[in-house]
Structure 1
Amino acid sequence: MQKKIMLNPFSIFFIIILGILLTYSLSWSTFNEPLTVPMMLFLTFILITLLLFSKIFNRTFPEGTFVKRSFRINLIPWTLLAILSMAAEFVYEKAIPIIEILVLKSGYEYTSFGGIPGFHVFAVTFVSFLGLYCWQLFLEEKRWYLLLLSVLFVSFPIMLFNRGGFIMNLSSMFFIFLLHKRTMVIKLKYLSAFVLVLILLLYAFGIFGNIRSDSENAAKDITDSSFILRVGQATEEFKNSPVPDPFFWAYLYASTPIANLQYMTENIEPSNNLTLFITQTVFPDFIGKRVEEKIGRTVQQDQRRSPVFNVSTMFISSFKTLGFLGMLLTYFYFIFFVFLYSYMMKHMHTTKIIGIAILCTIAIFNMFDNMLVFSGLSFQLVYPILFWIYKKL
């Protein structure tokens, strides 16, 4: 049986919020207290309206709108630029984090890798985007050198020991695949393979978490998750369950954003500052920070359930500046941005599949942070526009 895929950022956002709420309800950590009435009402409103906007999106951009094949360019100069960008970052820092940590075991602190000032954001986002472009070309042409280039470039974040950036790239690759296929044959073996790959990725995520956070014990046993069980306040229910301990990392990363958001809405008094709302939720982070430095104002610090977990959804900065009104404004700004950018992609016949795939990835990770202002991901949205300008010129 074949089933048509009607993929859009709103349906993805709906599935992610619902999935996180179901995960949150497992109560495997004492961090996750029952949701308050205001939080339940807010999330229910978001879920209902996302279904509405998903339907509007599918009518506005019907099937086939974004699947026109990409334009072909000479990859050699772009490949050289990407490789030189990666090399320049490593030379500047005098280290390749993943080798320092896993091979040399030199005690290198991965958080110290800042890259070349002013260049790092371009390097990470351009290399990742080029990897996505090579992946799209591979799906169209089935040339294996394109697959090798794609794997090399989308793996740049993992070379920096950045699990989040790597998972974001994998997410965009998955959405490019779905948009490229347009239809999928639903078979048990495909479903089983997807579940197996997902389980392996979540397990690997936990193993990397053990290595990053407790390298001394991880050197002896990489499956030793005692650190995260302790700081994540795992309940006896989880400890006695058959679920392997490394999966607790994925559970916490999925559930603590809601826990932190609820905790802060109960313990923070909004500043009611429109300027800070704009710098925190509209401007890209590298611009917003500079504006705040100029005006001499900063947003108040987070108050989290635990200092170890600092993610708290796309809504927390807007709550700290304008309360629940700010959360609603941030949500509708996201809706507006998706429709505007999708309209632009509809008329830019270059890499629009990649643009929509990145929007879907943003929708997923909005439940961890505001991805529209996080330049490490959102800046990738600039390249489809630049490729369109390049084509015109």
Structure 2
Amino acid sequence: MNFSVSLNPYYLYSISLSLILVLYNLGWSNLYPKLSTVSMIFFISTIIISIVLGYFYDKKFVQKKVDKRNPLNIGILSILILLGNVLEFIYEGAIPFVEIAILKNDYVYIHYAGIPTFHVILFTFNAFLAVYTFHRLLVEKKKIYIVYFLINLLPSLLTYNRGMLMMIVISCVSVFVLEMWKGLLSLKNIAFLSIFAIVFLYIFGIMGNVRSNYNHDTKGNVNDSTYIMAVGEASDSFRNSIVPKPMFWGYIYMTSPLANFEENVRYYNNVPLNLENTSKFLKTSILPDFIGKRIESISPQEYDEVKQVSPHLTVSSMFSSAFVNSGWGGVILIYVYFALLVLVYRYLLGNDSQFLITGMAIMNTITMLNFFSNMFTFSGLSFQLVYPLLFSLLFSKRCFDKVVVLLRKIKIVN
């Protein structure tokens, strides 16, 4: 029996949410409230709708073999990115990695902001180019792309930007599946990815233990998960299970956003979707943060606080803020926005674009991480969608022919 499922954003939404719901209902944390009937109906409904949308998505869009021609000079662009980072280091007067790892200063890396506006463009383009370079490595099999790829990982390491590094890695995994496995997940591939995920979650937990032991000046061994099990109030069912205790880190990170959402459902009742709340919804749930903040500075509003089950568990999905500001109407709207955005973006990329796989890999990353925070408003990731679309339009045959005609008129080309 040959079973396979394609890695499109709709199926990814359904798979991710189903996994989170299963883990949540294991009841491994005493902090978590029981999901309400309304919440379960909404989540199960969107899972089913996404499966249907995923089916029609695969019927509508065909992924063609990518041409081996590379329209971008990745080497030059990589050097320009490094030079851009040098400018930012000069502007900031510090290199976070040097300050922390070499000089051992009390430098707070999260305060690294770079040059206003330029920083957002530089880092989002850097992330896009890293993912695109990885794709070209798989297509062309040229060793020089390994060098370019490592160069494009360097800025996130030098700035201690673990979030950016994680987003690049997730997008690259998606690129691998889309290119090498033709976007299909067979039972064998699913088993491979499951083993990879389990190993990753265990290592993630070990790293969490090391960091917590360091931060709290304790000398526990790397398998000592006392801190996270206390913070997450691990239940007896987890403590007595055979699951390695460091994996509680991964469990908490994957399921606490859902707990925080339910906490807000219980706290806020009957939030109307009126004109004022729609404005709040757009600024906090749809528009990229650099746009939303500018609108807020011109037309400020008061916002209710997004509640949390614990002050230590601060992550929240794209649904929480939407619910706090606009109730269930906002929650439904943000799902509709996601569904439409995927469809429109895929249509605009076209079937022949060299940047199709890179663009859809980034969209897959947004889909996954939306369960942990609102990635539509986080310009550090959402703005990456601009580059595949921009280059797809720029290097499309129609646009290319127009450029050639123009250059011939001014006698730059023959």
Specify if TM > 0.5. Answer: yes
| CA shift digits 1:139-179 (9 cap, x unpaired) | 01112221232234246435444443322211111111111
Residues 258/60 of structure 1: CA separation in 2 closer, same or farther (3 Å cut): same
Partner in structure 2 of residue 360 of structure 1? 364
* Structure 2: unaligned runs, 5 residues or longer: 404-414
Q: Quick one: distance in 1 between partners of 2:171 and 2:302?
A: 33
CA distance in 1, matches of 2:107, 2:78: 29
Post-superposition CA distance 1:283-334 (Å, at most 9, x none):
1111111111211214222111112222221111221221101110111111
Distance 1:219 1:128 in 2: 36
Tell me the SS of whatever aligns to 2:245.
coil
Query: Hey, what does 2:376 align to over in structure 1?
Result: 372
Which one of the candidate residues 298, 306, 322 is aligned to 2:310?
Answer: 306
Provide the rounded CA distance (Å) in 1 between the counterparts of 2:75 and 2:144.
12
CA distance in 1, matches of 2:54, 2:91: 45
Inter-CA distance 345–4: structure 2 relative to 1 (3 Å threshold): farther
Query: Which residue is 1:130 aligned to?
Result: 129
Q: Does residue 179 of structure 1 match 2:178?
A: yes
Q: Which deviations, in whole Å up to 9, do the C-alpha atoms of 1:57-97 show, x marking residues without a partner?
A: 111113x2585556332223201112123333444444444
* 1:2-17 matches, cutoff 5 A: 6-17=6-17
Of 312, 333, 336, which aligns to 1:332? 336
Distance in 1 (CA, whole Å) between partners of 2:149 and 2:2 is 28
Sequence identity (%): 34
Look up the SS of the partner of 1:40 in the other structure. Answer: helix
Instruction: Trace 1:201-240 onto structure 2 (pairs within 5 A).
Output: 201-213=200-212, 215-217=214-216, 220=219, 223=222, 224-240=224-240
CA distance in 2, matches of 1:154, 1:115: 17
1:276-291 residue pairs with structure 2 within 5 A? 276-291=280-295
Q: Which position in structure 2 is the counterpart of 1:142?
A: 141
User: In 2, are the aligned partners of 1:2 and 1:185 still within 8 Å (CA)?
Assistant: no
Aligned counterparts, 1:81-92, within 5 A: 81-92=80-91
Amino acid of the residue matched to residue 165 of structure 2?
F
Partner of 1:351: 355
Q: Deviations over 1:8-44 (max 9, x none)?
A: 1000000000010111122221122221111111111
Cα distance in 1 for residues equivalent to 2:47 and 2:379: 26
The normalised TM-score by structure 2 is 0.85
- Kindly state the Cα deviation for residue 230 of structure 1 after the two structures are TM-superposed: 1.9
Structure 1 residue runs of 5 or longer lacking an equivalent are none
| Cα separation, 2, equivalents of 1:151 and 1:197 | 22
In the alignment of these two chains, the number of paired residues is: 391
1:18 corresponding residue in structure 2: 18
CA shift, 1:214, in A, is 5.0
**Contact (CA 8 Å) 1:132, 1:154: kept in 2 or not?**
no
Determine helix, strand or coil for the equivalent of 1:169.
helix
Is 1:274 equivalent to 2:273 in the alignment?
no
**AA aligned opposite 2:374:** N
1:166 aligned residue: 165
RMSD between superposed Cα atoms in Å: 2.8
Among candidates 321, 324, 330, match of residue 317 of structure 1: 321
Alignment partner of 1:115: what SS? coil
Separation in 2 of the partners of 1:155 and 1:309? 30
Deviation at 1:4, TM superposition (A): 6.0
Structure 1 SS opposite 2:318: coil
Worse-superposed segment, 162-171 or 44-53: 162-171
Counterpart Cα distance in 1 of 2:186 and 2:266:
45
Judged with a 3 Å threshold, the aligned counterparts in structure 2 of structure 1 residues 164 and 74 are, in CA distance, closer, same or farther, namely: closer
Deviations 1:208-261 (A, max 9, x none): 434555534478457243332222222233334343333221111100011000
In structure 2, how many angstroms separate the alpha carbons of the residues matched to 1:111 and 1:291? 24
Work out whether residues 207 and 222 of structure 1, in 8 Å CA contact, stay in contact via their aligned partners in 2.
no
SS in structure 2 opposite 1:246? helix
Kept in 2: contact 1:66–1:353 (CA 8 A) = no
Match of 2:386 among 346, 359, 382: 382
> Which whole-Å CA distance do the structure 2 matches of 1:373 and 1:149 have between them?
29
C-alpha separation in 2, matches of 1:95 and 1:3: 52
Kindly indicate whether the alpha-carbon contact (under 8 Å) linking 1:211 and 1:219 is maintained by their aligned counterparts in 2.
no
- CA–CA separation in structure 1 for the residues paired with 2:59 and 2:186: 24
Question: Is residue 156 of structure 2 the alignment partner of residue 157 of structure 1?
Answer: yes
From the CA coordinates, give the structure whose radius of gyration is larger.
Answer: 2
Q: Supply the distance in 2 between the matched residues of 1:49 and 1:76 (Cα, whole angstroms).
A: 43
Query: How far apart are 1:126 and its partner, in Å?
Result: 1.2
Mapped contact 2:201–2:247 kept (Cα < 8 A): yes
Match of 2:73 in 1: 74
8 Å CA contact 1:66–1:345 kept in 2: the answer is no
Separation (CA, whole Å) in 2 of partners of 1:17 and 1:237? 23
Between 258-267 and 101-110, report the one with greater CA deviation. Answer: 101-110
